[in-house]
Amino acid sequence: MLNKKTVEDVDVNGKRVLVRCDFNVPQDENLNITDDRRIVSALPTIKYLIDHNAKVILCSHLGRPKGEFNKKYSLAPVAKRLTELLGKKVKLADDVIGESAKTLASNLNDGDVMLLENVRFHKEEEANDMSFCKELAQLADIYVNDAFGTAHRAHASTEGVSKYLPAVCGYLIQKEIDVMGKALDNPSRPFVAILGGKKVSDKIKVIENLIDKVDTLLIGGGMAYTFFKAKGYEIGNSICEDDKIELAKELMEKASHKGVKLVLPIDNVVAKEFSNDSEKKVVKSDEIPEDYQGMDIGPETIKLFAHELKDAKTIVWNGPMGVFEFDNFAVGTNEVAKILGGLDAVTIIGGGDSAAAIEKGGFADTMTHISTGGGASLEFLEGKVLPGIACLLDK
């Protein structure tokens, strides 16, 4: 559980509070925000500060402007959306630590909210440059980190600034750590993890950490084919990391040694080409034709996974079951989401592609918790200490 001070543990009345949020939202070509979930997730902390008479200074990155001012990555659309959601004007500074930011910050009244321009317009942000951290800190009296999505990065606005200001977390980080922390440290059992995605290499540390904690591990997605090859199956043109075959063997042995049930797909939807319209068929996992590639888990695997999940009390899911970007190969991912939505269990979706798949399939409201951080939730599931959280004051 989170043993860090939160916004409720400090007196914010009349104080200038710098809040690091994660407003890195997707936009269309006209710069309209297409999914404002990350902005909405920040509202509880912002509203708490407004209600407690703080002078609120929000900051975030957006996209990858590579340390240069670039209008395409301006936070102006975010300021506009925040103004609508909060029902009060959120002024946008023209810069981060320049005259505009300083003037706006010094003229804030209690309960006012402003937003600094994209912190990644300065290369010093990602370099965690101390003089930049100091200038940023001079805008405020207190620092609140509520950007779980970047908590695994030691940047100026996520970690460095805490060296100059009392630092606490907001409600979003508190929720992320409490929900995922309880799942890892003290889960209601049976505890089942579902891991998917393309590569075993992306999830090695997660698998290693979870084998010590879960009762059952279900593996789908592209990474399953490396396990198949480790078992001596013919996998055709399926994605495979040949340099991870020995590791896959070791992981299967480790699971068996620990008494953890490691379940691989028993059938797969395979296709001739990597495209939505490719000719496809369902084959057993050890019978993939040499000119085909695995694209999704098959119907028998969906039934098998449903059986393994039906009595689970805690479920962590990270990574899609197939090429969910193609509708014809999104069936496995959508069916797993549907199964989870109907269970009486704590269901935690670990950010990134799994969260996108859940949103796309319309299953978001049926989950206990969808993490706002892809990389951060992965590192958390690996058991790593996140610098943006480690730097906060202990209770």
CA distance 94 to 74: 9
Tell me whether residue 199 is one of the annotated catalytic residues.
Answer: yes
Active-site choice (15, 38, 55, 175): 38
Active-site choice (63, 181, 375, 383): 375
Show the beta-strand stretches assigned E in the chain: 16-20, 55-59, 90-92, 113-115, 142-145, 167-169, 191-195, 216-219, 261-263, 267-271, 280-284, 293-297, 314-318, 346-349, 369-370
Six token digits for residue 65: 């402007």
Amino acid at 293: Q
CA distance 151 to 181: 15
Active-site choice (170, 196, 352, 373): 352
Tell me whether residue 38 is one of the annotated catalytic residues.
Answer: yes
Active-site choice (80, 199, 280, 303): 199
Angle between helices 374-381 and 352-361 (to 10 degrees): 120
Tell me whether residue 375 is one of the annotated catalytic residues.
Answer: yes
Distance in Å from the first CA to the final CA of the chain: 12
Find where tokens 């940023």 sit: 136
Beta bridge partners of 33: 27
Amino acid at 26: P
Residues in the chain, overall count = 395
Tell me whether residue 72 is one of the annotated catalytic residues.
Answer: no
Residues labelled catalytic: 38, 199, 352, 375
